[in-house]
Every structure is written in structure tokens, then in C-alpha cells.
Amino acid sequence: MPYQIDRLSIVTTTTCHQGCPHCGQRPLCARFPDYTASLASIERLLDRADELGCRFQRISLSGGEPSEWPELAPAAKLIRESAPRTQLICYSNAAQADRLREAAPWIDLIRFSSYRSTTDRCRRLAEELRAAGNRIEIVYPVHRMPPTHAVADSLPAICSCPAIGFFNDRIWTCAPAPSRLAMMGADLDEPDHSCSVDDDWAEHFMSRRKSRFRQPICRQCISNRKVWQKMKYTEHRP
């Protein structure tokens, strides 16, 4: 299977006050509670992608909670100017409405995750931004608690997350990798999972493509469809 490098997920910050127990990013937020991506790091990321000839179809801003990121609007503007044909998506629980209003002109789609505790504020802000001409979706997630143990017979993984990740100035083999490694207490600098922004990403990961879907983290990842099939999740609206 060729290595897909046309989608990118950026961890903007690990700050989030929602505290959802089911959150797939919770281990990363707990291990690195003060992480915030700098605007300079985003600029370097985009410059390096251009140098390598990467043409992302989609860039996602995730967290933590992206609206808690002070650089949300400047980064969205920078991405839009650097990659005008790339779809830019922001996932949010509408924690900081003013930042989302400021960033909205440069974002193609804001996808609000509506929980019982955030439904009203998501709906109000969504109506306001739609009236201003922004594309908005409100999703009501069906949550699955991340497995706390390796799931047997789940390799090779059937991965539902084709995006590479950006966290802590490194490029990750997939968006969930930093959080899964954090949950396992593993070394986040292990080369099978990440490389420096300054490396040739495609060459780095293509050399490991045979083992990409056979990693230990895949056995505990909710993006592995085999894990979905084998785990009996409790589905609920938080």
C-alpha cells in the first residue's frame, strides 16, 4: 500500500477544558499539558512541504481544543495563503468563540463536536457563523473508549486515518500516533513513528511502509477498524 501524504493533521495545542474521558487525545494532553504550536513552526512546516512537493488535499486543525490556541487566526490565514487549494478544517467544541470568529474567514469548514455540555454554545455560534457565510457542521459524536490493552488479532491494521500528523515539530506516521504512544508510555522519538520536519517525510516513511500497519500502537488504536470490530464499546452521548 503506498504511503498517503495528501492529508495532514496539526495538533495546535494540548489545552482543553472539556476533559472527556473517551477522548483519543487525552493521553497526549495529559503527558504534554502545556504544549502549544508556534506560528514559526507552522510556517516552517508549510515551507518544508513546499520544498518536498507535498500538495495536501486537506489540512485539519485539532487539539486539545484549537480555539484555545492563541495562534488560530494567524495560522489559518498563513495556511490559506500558502496552500489556497487545500481544504482547511478546524475541529472545535466552541470554547473560545472570539478566536473562531476571527479565524473563520480562512477556514473552509468548522466542525463542532456537540456534547451535552456544549450543545447550546455550539448551536448559537454555528448559526452566527453560517449567517456570515461560513460553512459549519455540527456533529454529535458516538464515542468509543480507547482500549487500555492490546487487542489480539488486530494486525495488520485496517487504518481509517490516512492523515500524517504534526506535533512538537515532528511529522508522524499517522495522526493518532503521538497520543497512542503517550498512552503506552513509549518513547515519542522512535523513528518508526516520526521524523523531523527537516527530513524527507515520504522517503522516511516509505522505507517503513511494510511495517506501518503492524505497529504495536495499532493494536490499541480506535482508528484501526479491526479494533472496532473486536472491542465491545459502550456508545454514549457525553
The pLDDT of residue 142: 54
Q: Are 172 and 236 spatial neighbours (Cβ–Cβ below 8 Å)?
A: no
Instruction: Tell which residue, 178, 220, 187, has the closest CA to residue 30.
Output: 178
Measure the N-to-C terminal CA separation of the chain; round to a whole number of Å.
Answer: 37
- The owner of cell 489559518 is 76
Averaged pLDDT, 57-80? 97
Per-residue pLDDT band for 146 (boundaries 50, 70, 90) equals low
Q: State the chain's maximal CA–CA distance in angstroms.
A: 49
pTM score, whole prediction: 0.88
The mean-pLDDT minimum among 5-14, 111-120, 174-183 falls in 111-120
C-alpha distances (whole Å) from 30 to each of 108, 121, 178, 220 are: 30, 26, 12, 18
Averaged pLDDT, 175-201? 86
Averaged pLDDT, 74-100? 95
Q: Could you give the CA distance from residue 15 to residue 18 in angstroms, rounded to a whole number? A: 9
10 Å CB burial of residue 185 (0-12, 13-18, 19+) is exposed
What's the residue count for the chain?
238
Q: What angle do CA 167, 173, 178 make, to 5 degrees?
A: 40
pLDDT at 208 over 80: no
The pLDDT of residue 39: 98
Instruction: Tell which residue, 103, 113, 94, has the closest CA to residue 70.
Output: 103
CA atoms within 13 A on the CB side of 175: 25
pLDDT tens-place string over residues 157-168: 888 777 899 999
Give the helix, strand, coil percentages of the chain, each rounded to 5.
Answer: 35, 15, 45
Domain ranges across the chain:
1-149+162-214
Q: In terms of pLDDT, which residue wins out, 236 or 32?
A: 32
Whether domain 1-149+162-214 has CATH 3.20.20.70: the reply is: yes
Per-residue pLDDT band for 210 (boundaries 50, 70, 90) equals low
